Amino acid sequence: MPLPRALAPLRSPAYRRLAASLALSLVANGSWAVTVVWQVVALGGGPAELSLVGGLSAAGTLGAALPGGVLADRVPQRHLLLAVTLLSAVPVAAVGGLSLAGALPLPLLAVAGLLGGVALGLHYPAYSALVPALLPPEQVLAANGLEGAMRPALYQVAGPAAAGLLVAALSPGAALLATAAASLGATLCVLGLPLLPVRRGVAAGHPAAALLADLREGLAYLRRTRWLLATLLFASLVLLLTTGPLQVLAPFALRDRAGGGPLQHALVLAAFGVGGALGSLVVASRPLPRRYLTTVVALWALGCLPLAVFGTAERVWPMVAAGVVAGAGIHGGLVVWGTLLQRRVPAALLGRVSSLDFVVSGALVPVSVALAGPLSEGVGLSAAFLAAGLAPPVLAVVVLLVARLPADERASPLDDGAPPRPGEQAPAGR
């Protein structure tokens, strides 16, 4: 797919507004990821305290994702995105003001992290369901490629870089206020989105019963769809191994072993972002791989290998190089994965399946984040990062063989218009 075709979704005014809101939200999330580390440090905390804040945020995300998926199939996604951006802006602005006043307690920072996690859990299914409603089918891969390029570039480069500079030059409180301002800008962009009809009406009967029925329908689809369940379980184990070391231990590996600080931390996150943007654009510039499931699993597994460098490096630049390679593999796989969901999952189920994607793949993230600090004190930083880098490729081979993913993708090609294999849903709206 040539680059002009990769930019085709931007011709749609509605998609441009959605992309702008996503861009500002990603900047805010990336800024928070760096700022919260150094705000915890400024409050006298260490890995255990950062694990608490990060664990609550991850728990909020997972707790909101399933209800968010049900709502995304029943409520106009514009309403959900408005709630998300406001929930991201207001609490962070409050803790930023308290930080500047020198009156911020650590528990309140943890509450802000929890609310931000809830906002993230609501955002993912609403955004995923809205993209194919705004664009024609042939532009969905390009939109995923653009998102795949924006996500690392803004979440892991622009947001962290801005936060690192603000923390170093001013204070964590100033960076928190800037984070809130970016979320407020996303709110203004969402206000310009069209109000589209939902694909599924509210059934008669008690609303709670109807919502539970919707959730059961999504779970049933997940259970009977082998390729989906197997890939999500693989992603869950990979995130268990990698999230805690990256979010909690990487800043302390930089500080204690390489003499780094906020700017070096932002540089390493930026390296992930640069690699992710490049990997996403490369994948989006080519046709969807014929062996799309094998490609997703392989890219995710190989993207984890460079994390082993964090267990051995004593200088910053090897960690930066490892971040570029890891970002390219992980985000390149995500571009194919997002397109796969939107091609093989029925439109009326897409919000719920997107939320299940988020929940199942991230189910062990709070465990990973919560255990990272105590685990590092028990086995050390090196062992944690070596496991994060070397175990995923082994798991990838197991899931490909046990779940017979190569046979599934051969039976259900997506690049030649062939129908899905028996027992699979036809791609919605295609």
In a domain, 255, yes or no: yes
Residue 143 CA from chain centroid, whole number: 16
Is the sign of the CA dihedral 79, 81, 84, 90 positive or negative?
Answer: negative
Q: pLDDT tens for the chain, 430 residues: list them.
A: 444 566 767 777 877 888 888 888 888 888 888 888 888 888 777 777 777 787 788 778 777 877 777 777 777 777 788 888 888 888 889 988 888 888 888 888 888 888 888 888 888 778 877 777 777 766 777 777 777 778 777 887 788 888 888 888 888 888 999 999 998 898 998 888 776 666 554 444 455 666 677 778 878 888 888 899 899 999 999 999 888 888 788 777 777 777 777 777 778 877 887 888 888 888 877 777 888 899 999 999 999 998 888 878 778 888 889 889 998 898 889 888 888 887 788 767 777 787 778 777 777 877 887 787 777 777 777 788 888 889 999 999 999 999 999 988 888 887 544 344 333 443 333 2
pLDDT digits (tens, 9 = 90+) for 59-113: 787 778 777 777 777 777 777 888 888 888 888 899 888 888 888 888 888 888 8
In a domain, 36, yes or no: yes
Q: What is the CATH number of the domain that holds 65?
A: 1.20.1250.20
In a domain, 145, yes or no: yes
In a domain, 354, yes or no: yes
Compute the distance between CA of residue 384 and CA of residue 368 in angstroms, rounded to an integer: 11
Cβ count near 287 (within 10 Å): 9
Side-chain-side CA neighbours of 124 within 13 Å: the count stands at 25
User: Cα torsion for 391, 303, 287, 425, to the nearest 10°?
Assistant: 40
**What's the total number of domains in the chain?**
1
In a domain, 197, yes or no: no
Residue with tokens 């929940």: 359
In a domain, 430, yes or no: no
Compute the distance between CA of residue 375 and CA of residue 229 in angstroms, rounded to an integer: 29
The range of the structural domain enclosing residue 291 comes to: 3-190+208-411
In a domain, 337, yes or no: yes
In a domain, 185, yes or no: yes
DSSP letter for 76, please: -
